[in-house]
Amino acid sequence: MNLFQRFVPACVTAVIAMICWQASVRAADVVKQVDITYATVNGQTLQLDLHMPAKSATAPKLIVWVHGGAWRAGSKNDMPLGALIPDGYAIASVDYRLSPVARFPAQVHDIKAAIRFLRAKQSHYGLDARQVSIAGSSAGGHLAALVGVTNGHAELEGKVGEHLDQSSSVQAIIDLFGPTNFDTILTQSTPHGLSVRVPALQLLLGGQPVDVPELAKLASPVAHVDDKDPPLLLIHGDQDPQVPINQSHELHARYKQARRPVQFEVVHGAAHGGSAFFDARRVELMRDFLKGTAQETPPPKQP
């Protein structure tokens, strides 16, 4: 069994969960614009899909969704946040350069470019992108968390896209079972987890964390947490064989130390993805979290 075959089951369960979740939202209630180009890098076109409520009294607030796939696979087509659209949210599902094409920090540069693009074009698309939430699962959870805790970080900001005058800051983070500390993840991993994570990190970083410690630190959300970071919601299964739940415990602890708002939902009996992460309880949890952060976080200042 090769690496692709190992992480396909997680991708399949995510797609199934997405279909079940979207079934509760009528197609007539959603306007979808696909393949919107937000930047071009070295000849590669970077695109996003925009899912918006068909009818809304006010401009919908923006959530950026980051797909998983061990940083080397996955697609913006897998967007499981459809149940939040009727609550007045627009979901931008973003593609980014995958690790076989570009090493870290290219992925973060791309996502931050997408946020800047959406802020620059918010009037054109009818969005409210003054306050942006970011969410993702697995590798996408890692990237969402890293983008969220590095608002204004010069090395991770990058120069991708045409809207460098816009802010890439986000005001809320939802991290579903994402890695958070590359210095500890391998020692915490099961044999199955190692079989996926070792080659994935090799592609992403160009070496193992012990061989590129500074780059591994730069890529670890736990290394960037400070007292200015946006509110965070962590959701992780306690039987995850691919990303140890201790990864979320570490980020939770760092947030607590920094006295920042954080919630941690342990999904008992859950592995790496699946419908349990997108059931009615977790939808309501995300909904309440996003409503709470909208009340307590100001819009970002422009650079």
Say if residue 160's pLDDT is above 60: yes
* Nearest of 60, 51, 71 to residue 4 by alpha carbon: 71
Interval 204-251: pLDDT, tens:
999 999 999 999 999 999 999 999 999 999 999 999 999 999 999 999
Query: How far apart are the C-alpha atoms of 293 and 295, rounded to whole Å?
Result: 5
Q: What is the pLDDT of residue 99?
A: 98
Q: What is the pLDDT of residue 295?
A: 62
Say if residue 14's pLDDT is above 50: no
Contacts of 130 (CB under 8 A, 6+ apart): 119, 122, 299, 300
Interval 71-83: pLDDT, tens:
999 999 999 999 9
pLDDT-derived band at 139 (thresholds 50, 70, 90) equals: very high
pLDDT-derived band at 21 (thresholds 50, 70, 90) equals: very low
Q: Given phi > 0 = left and psi -120 to 50 = alpha, else beta, which region is 48? A: beta
Interval 50-106: pLDDT, tens:
999 998 889 999 999 999 999 999 999 999 999 999 999 999 999 999 999 999 999
Say if residue 26's pLDDT is above 90: no
Q: What is the pLDDT of residue 199?
A: 97
Secondary-structure percent of the chain, ordered helix, strand, coil, rounded to 5: 40, 20, 40
Length of the chain (residues): 303
pLDDT-derived band at 20 (thresholds 50, 70, 90) equals: very low
Query: Each residue of 245-267: b (16+ CB within 10 Å) or e?
Result: bbbbbbbbebbeeeebbbbbbeb
pLDDT-derived band at 299 (thresholds 50, 70, 90) equals: low
Q: What is the pLDDT of residue 69?
A: 97
Whether the full predicted model's pTM is greater than 0.75, yes or no, is yes
Rg (CA), the chain: 18
Say if residue 302's pLDDT is above 70: no
pLDDT-derived band at 297 (thresholds 50, 70, 90) equals: low
Query: How far apart are the C-alpha atoms of 185 and 58, rounded to whole Å?
Result: 43
Query: How far apart are the C-alpha atoms of 230 and 296, rounded to whole Å?
Result: 10
Interval 177-187: pLDDT, tens:
999 999 999 99
Q: What is the pLDDT of residue 16?
A: 47
**Beta-carbon neighbour count of residue 25 at 10 Å?**
16
Token output for 56: 């809304």
Query: How far apart are the C-alpha atoms of 148 and 99, rounded to whole Å?
Result: 20
Q: What is the pLDDT of residue 25?
A: 59
| 302 burial level (CB within 10 Å; 0-12, 13-18, 19+) | exposed
**Beta-carbon neighbour count of residue 4 at 10 Å?**
12
Token output for 286: 């995300």
Interval 277-290: pLDDT, tens:
999 999 999 999 99
Q: What is the mean pLDDT of the chain?
A: 91
| 210 burial level (CB within 10 Å; 0-12, 13-18, 19+) | exposed
Residues 128-151: what's their mean pLDDT?
98
Q: What is the pLDDT of residue 226?
A: 97
3-state secondary structure of 114: helix
Instruction: Provide CATH code, domain 3-296.
Output: 3.40.50.1820
**Beta-carbon neighbour count of residue 11 at 10 Å?**
20
**Beta-carbon neighbour count of residue 187 at 10 Å?**
9
Say if residue 15's pLDDT is above 80: no
3-state secondary structure of 47: strand
